[in-house]
Amino acid sequence: MKYTIPSLIAIPVVAGVTYFSINASSGEESTQKSENTKTETVDRVPGAPPSNKYRKIVLNNDYNHTKWGIGKTDDLIFNFAAYTTCFDTEDDDNGDGKPDFLGVPEWVAFEIKHFEGTMPNYKRPSPWMTDDILYGKKMAPNDDTYAVSGTSEMKIVNSNSRFVRGHMCPKNAADRMGEDAGYNTHTVLNAVPQLQLQNNGIWKTLEQNCTDWADKYGSVWVISGPAFFKKNPSMWLGQSGEVMSAIPDAVYKIVIRENPNSETGIECIAFLFPNIIDSKEKVVSDFLTSVDQIEKVTHLTFLTKLPDAKKALEIVKNEGLTAEQKKAVFNQW
């Protein structure tokens, strides 16, 4: 579904973009925004989506994508039906006193629920979508940044060794909420440059694990995103005249489920994958780590809605494990 958008006007918005959505329980139009109070000026129609190419954004109150809390909310927050994304803007990520734009989300959070229905079948959008205003301000890329010249003519270029649009919230999880929810995952607001052999290999395996766990436990909550080990990206994707996207050193995924028998009330399992990875790497559990380690490499904080004492216990679980111990933890899920 496309929207008719009137001419743009300049409005101050909180850093949490306000855009059009429909409350699924009432069917009434509503707006969503972050609770953060940092302001900046963005040219945006009140109530408008990031682009008129998105399908209708219908928020379902039965889903709470950020239930367990994430500390970094001073970038732009977009609430989609299937996920919430925090997109990097002109904050100072590397601490040099200058604004920087990474062209990727800082994190993407989503809840997956048990599903027994029929998955939708539809044509994916091409090109992928962006935020038109952020793109115009060179704060967000469009699909051109991810295009690799010659992929249709040269097999060697169209291989597993190139960087592609890596979903943070995967289509197969969002499709459980309907066609529109899945369609709206195909946006650079939900993607980072990811090596194809990882994106279509071990990362895809973990995505399937997450949906399997949702079916097993009823619900799981997932947080995915990029990690830049020295805060300064070492590589960028894009060519002259395009909005560049920072290529992460690694990508992470934190999976949370409720467990009333746990001391903290939840169970977490976390993974950190090098972005450039050997194609022989097939064992997901080899990359199991702790939430604390992911906090250290991302400079984010997670599980912020837990009491401090419980958070302190949960984030250090699974540190320093052997390969066999990691496999045992993984298999217990």
Q: Between helices 308-315 and 291-298, what is the axis angle to 10°?
A: 90
CB 318 within 8 A of CB 271: no
CB 116 within 8 A of CB 228: no
Output the pLDDT for position 232.
81
Residue 5 in any domain: the answer is: no
Domain count for the chain, please give it: 1
Residue 1 in any domain: the answer is: no
Output the pLDDT for position 152.
54
Output the pLDDT for position 27.
38
Output the pLDDT for position 100.
79
Residue 303 in any domain: the answer is: yes
Output the pLDDT for position 101.
86
Strands 76-79 and 84-87: antiparallel
Output the pLDDT for position 191.
95
Distances, alpha carbon 298 to alpha carbons 140, 177, 227, 252, 313, in Å: 20, 29, 5, 9, 19
Spatial separation of the C-alpha atoms in residues 331 and 271, rounded to whole Å: 14
Strands 58-59 and 19-23: parallel
Q: Domain residues for 109? A: 10-332
What's the pTM?
Answer: 0.85
Residue 192 in any domain: the answer is: yes
CATH code of the domain in which 156 resides: 3.40.570.10
Output the pLDDT for position 181.
97
Residue 190 in any domain: the answer is: yes
Output the pLDDT for position 45.
52
Q: Which contiguous run of DSSP H or E holds residue 132?
A: helix 132-136
Distances, alpha carbon 236 to alpha carbons 51, 128, 194, 309, 318, in Å: 25, 19, 11, 39, 32
Output the pLDDT for position 156.
61
Residue 2 in any domain: the answer is: no
Q: Rounded to 5 degrees, what are φ and ψ at 269?
A: -135, 130
Residue 68 in any domain: the answer is: yes
Residue 194 in any domain: the answer is: yes
pLDDT lower than 50: segments of the chain: 1-43, 46
